[in-house]
Amino acid sequence: MARQAAYRPRRSVLYMPSSNERALEKAKTLPVDALILDLEDAVAPDAKDQARENACAAARSGEYGSRELTIRINGIGTQWHDDDLRAACAAGPDAIVVPKVGSADEVRALVAAMQAAGAPDHTGLWAMVETPVAMLHCEEIAGASPRLTALVMGTNDLAKELHAEHVPGRQPLLTGLSLCLLAARATGTVILDGVYNDVKDAAGFEAECRQGRELGFDGKTLIHPGQVEVCNATFAPSAAAVEDARAVVAAWEAAGGAGVVTHNGRMIENLHVETAERVLAVHDAITRQSADAGA
């Protein structure tokens, strides 16, 4: 199973507690790129079984349109993990999200268990990386299997493990975030930024979205529907960026597509053209997805 080559928007990836049936119903109407139907942290122990049934029914329903639908199961070694994994594989979501993945061996064991449980080929594995060990071995984790298609930063657990504070700018976490970004780009793996905890701090949330985009994340995981709109806007190329990218490509093509050209006083080489082409590909994919959602 090869990694997905075509760009798929994952600007906003919203956690939804699968024990809450009203939340699952509301998710069908949200302008979110992807959903993580949660069986783990957001679900009380006595609600785990019902949450599993709800998430699997949602994955089978076909009622979520173009939204990417994933299920976060309980972690390796917990009493619910094996049942969660088997049920999720049978339901066939776009991906199964596993918390606290810490090694390449764990990835390979998860992939083997998914295959044994009959997971369809389209169901990928998303590994949450949220410990110092995972940061230090992230390239091995990301490269362990083609079935692993995304890394998800667990920044709350990482801060806890580091004995770090949550501060604006996330300076205590930047080393770990950067190591995982390097691993993702080295292996061609999607990487999603962690959550922002204060749902009432709109300015702080927008600043962290902007930081995540500037660092190179593909999108951000969210804990509240009210965060979706800002996240989508921040992780999408601006109108000015799209216009400039089109002009760069046009200038390059007008010059014959070789050597060096000048655009608005800037020297343009092939690497700048590749960056511009990626901006346009992202913009086009977002436009198509929005059109599909509105159809």
Query: Are the C-beta atoms of residues 200 and 161 closer than 8 Å to each other?
Result: no
Same domain, 134 and 273: no
Burial annotation 163-176 (CB, 10 A radius, 16+ → b, else e): eeeeeeebeebeeb
Same domain, 126 and 28: yes
Task: At 264, give phi and psi (nearest 5°).
Answer: 50, 40
Query: Are the C-beta atoms of residues 92 and 123 closer than 8 Å to each other?
Result: yes
Instruction: Kindly state whether residue 207 falls inside one of the protein's structural domains.
Output: yes
- If you average pLDDT over every residue of the chain, what do you get? 94
Instruction: Kindly state whether residue 1 falls inside one of the protein's structural domains.
Output: no
The pLDDT tens digits of the residues spanning 162-200 come to: 999 999 999 999 999 999 999 999 999 999 999 999 999
SS3 content of the chain, % helix, strand, coil (to 5): 50, 15, 35
Same domain, 24 and 39: yes
Count of structural domains within the chain = 2
The answer on pLDDT for 16 being more than 70 is yes
The pLDDT tens digits of the residues spanning 193-233 come to: 999 999 999 999 999 999 999 999 999 999 999 999 999 99
Largest CA distance in the chain: 66
| Residue whose token pair is 């939204």 | 67
**Which of 206, 235, 264 delimits the end of a domain?**
235
Q: What is the CA radius of gyration of the chain?
A: 20
Same domain, 97 and 212: yes
Same domain, 161 and 203: yes
Q: Round to whole Å and give the CA distance between 186 and 188.
A: 6
Instruction: Kindly state whether residue 2 falls inside one of the protein's structural domains.
Output: no
Same domain, 118 and 196: yes
Instruction: Kindly state whether residue 279 falls inside one of the protein's structural domains.
Output: yes
What is the domain range of residue 22? Answer: 12-235
- Give the global pTM: 0.93
Give the CATH number of the domain where residue 41 resides: 3.20.20.60
Instruction: Kindly state whether residue 5 falls inside one of the protein's structural domains.
Output: no
Instruction: Kindly state whether residue 3 falls inside one of the protein's structural domains.
Output: no
Name the pLDDT band for 1 (thresholds 50, 70, 90).
very low
